[in-house]
Amino acid sequence: MSSAARTAPLGRRRTRERVSAFPYLLLTPAVLVTLLIVFLPMAEAVYLSLHDYVVWRPADRTFVWFGNFVAALQDEVFWISFANTLLWIGITIPAQALLGLLTAILLNRDFFWRPVARALIIIPWALPSVVIALMWRWIYDANYGVLNDILFRLGILQSSFPWLADPDTALYAIILTLTWQGFPFFAVMILAGLQSIPRSYYEAAAIDGASTWQQFRNITLPGIAGVLGTAILLRTIWVANSIDVIYVMTGGGPGYATHTLPLYAFIEARSSLNFGYGSALAVIFTLMLTGLVLVYLSRINRTLD
Partner 1 sequence: MVRRQSALRSLLGTHLPVLAIVAFALGPYIWMALTSLTPQEHLLQAGVALDPLNWTTANYERLVGRTDFPLNMVHSFIVAIGTVVLGLSLSVTAAYAFSRFRFPGRRVLMIKFLVINMFPVVLLILPLFVIMRRLGLIDTHAALIIANATVAIPFSVWMMTSYINSIPRSLDEAAMVDGCSRLGALRKVILPLILPGIIATGIYIFITSWNEYLYALTLGGRNVRTITVAIQTLIGEYQIEWGLLTAGGVLGAMPATLLFLLIQRRLISGLTQGAVKG
How many whole angstroms separate alpha carbon 42 and alpha carbon 262? 15
Q: What is the identity of the amino acid at 261?
A: L
Q: How far is the CB of 6 from partner 1 (least distance, A)?
A: 26
Q: How far is the CB of 8 from partner 1 (least distance, A)?
A: 25
Between 8 and 39, CB nearer to partner 1: 39
Q: How far is the CB of 171 from partner 1 (least distance, A)?
A: 19
Between 6 and 16, CB nearer to partner 1: 16
Q: How far is the CB of 54 from partner 1 (least distance, A)?
A: 12
Between 7 and 62, CB nearer to partner 1: 62
Between 257 and 261, CB nearer to partner 1: 261
Between 5 and 61, CB nearer to partner 1: 61
Q: How far is the CB of 97 from partner 1 (least distance, A)?
A: 14
Helix and strand numbers (H, E) in the chain are 15, 2
**CA angle, residues 227, 183, 155, in degrees to nearest 5:** 145
Contact present, 264 and 78 (Cβ < 8 Å): yes
Between 132 and 174, CB nearer to partner 1: 132
How many whole angstroms separate alpha carbon 164 and alpha carbon 171? 8
211 phi and psi angles, rounded to 5 deg: -75, 170
How many whole angstroms separate alpha carbon 195 and alpha carbon 215? 15
Q: How far is the CB of 70 from partner 1 (least distance, A)?
A: 19
In sequence order, which residues have a C-beta less than 8 Å from that of residue 124 and are 6 or more positions away? 132, 180, 181, 183, 184
Between 5 and 211, CB nearer to partner 1: 211
Q: How far is the CB of 156 from partner 1 (least distance, A)?
A: 18
Strand-pair partners of 263: none
DSSP letter at 36 equals I
Q: How far is the CB of 79 from partner 1 (least distance, A)?
A: 18
In sequence order, which residues have a C-beta less than 8 Å from that of residue 245 and are 6 or more positions away? 129, 132, 133, 174, 177, 178, 181
Contact present, 246 and 223 (Cβ < 8 Å): no
Between 28 and 218, CB nearer to partner 1: 28
Q: What is the identity of the amino acid at 278?
A: G
In sequence order, which residues have a C-beta less than 8 Å from that of residue 226 and are 6 or more positions away? 193
